[in-house]
Amino acid sequence: MRIRIYLAITLILCVFSGCQPQNRPDGLPDLFPCAITITQGSQPLEGALVRLISEDGSSAWTISGKTDARGVAKISTHTGFAGAPAGTFKVLVSKTEMSPSQFPELAKNASPAERAERANQISMEKRTRYNVVKLEFDDVKKTPHSITIAKGGKNDATFDVGEPIKEEVK
């Protein structure tokens, strides 16, 4: 009986501690929904980092999102608060990829020893990182893309980052 009570109390504490809303930081402005779609060569670009940088330099908050398979990044502020503050922002887009591993994928039923050996191989492996989006789209002075976030406005936009590239990160 005591074990059941203990388990019930533990479960309740876990549920309530994990479900509490994150405290809003002091000074966080009102946020408005924003979704930005990124295409590359007219196709959705998955896995790109989208950042908004205030054009007037007034925002000290991190405003960003990552694109999904449809190329859509749902923008959040301060890592976890949905939306972006009002203002005009430069839209920065970046994405890198690693060269493929020379080691084959492990079987799903691989042993712990095989997994440890694979982790060791990967840690020693030399791989190359590539930019797959032109660097101009990740430069606040060069990007042609900007968005104005407004209260009650439609704060969604689509931007294209040109044709795919593969430039080694140096």
Task: Write down the mean pLDDT value for the chain.
Answer: 88
pLDDT category at 124 given cuts 50, 70, 90 is: confident
Same domain, 60 and 141: yes
What domain range is 146 assigned to? 30-95+133-163
In this structure, the answer to whether residues 37 and 81 fall within a common structural domain is yes
- The residue count of the chain comes to 170
Residue matched to tokens 């704060």:
155
Same structural domain, 80 and 52: yes
Residues 40 and 90 in one domain: yes
Retrieve residue 33's tokens. Answer: 């929904």
**Given this model, what pLDDT does residue 8 score?**
47
- pLDDT at position 23, please? 86
Give pLDDT, residue 60.
84
In sequence order, what DSSP letters do the residues of 13-38 get, joined into one string? HHHHHHHSPPPPPTTPPP-B--EEEE
Domain assignment present for residue 12? The answer is no
Q: How many structural domains are present in the chain?
A: 2
Rg of the chain on CA atoms, in Å: 22
Task: With a cut of 60, say whether residue 159 has pLDDT above it.
Answer: yes
**pLDDT, tens digit, 9 for 90 and up, residues 15-69:** 454 554 568 888 899 999 999 999 999 999 999 999 999 998 777 899 999 999 9
The pLDDT, as a whole number, for residue 95 is 98
So what's the pLDDT on residue 21? Answer: 56
Residues 36 and 81 in one domain: yes
What residue ranges in the chain does DSSP mark as E strands?
35-40, 43-44, 49-54, 63-66, 72-74, 76-77, 81-82, 87-94, 96-98, 129-131, 146-149, 156-160, 167-168
- Let me know whether 60 and 107 are in one domain: no
Q: What are phi and psi of 84, to 5 degrees?
A: -135, 150
User: Are the CB atoms for 133 and 94 separated by under 8 Å?
Assistant: yes
Q: What is the CATH number of the domain that holds 142?
A: 2.60.40.10
Q: Is the pTM of this model over 0.85?
A: no
Residue 122 in any domain: the answer is yes
Question: Which two structure tokens, joined as six digits, stand for 167?
Answer: 């430039």
In a domain, 108, yes or no: yes
* Claim to verify: residue 37 and residue 63 sit in the same structural domain: yes
The residues with which 76 forms a beta bridge, in sequence order, are 64, 82
Whether residues 122 and 82 fall in one domain: no
- The reply to whether 87 and 124 lie within a common domain is no
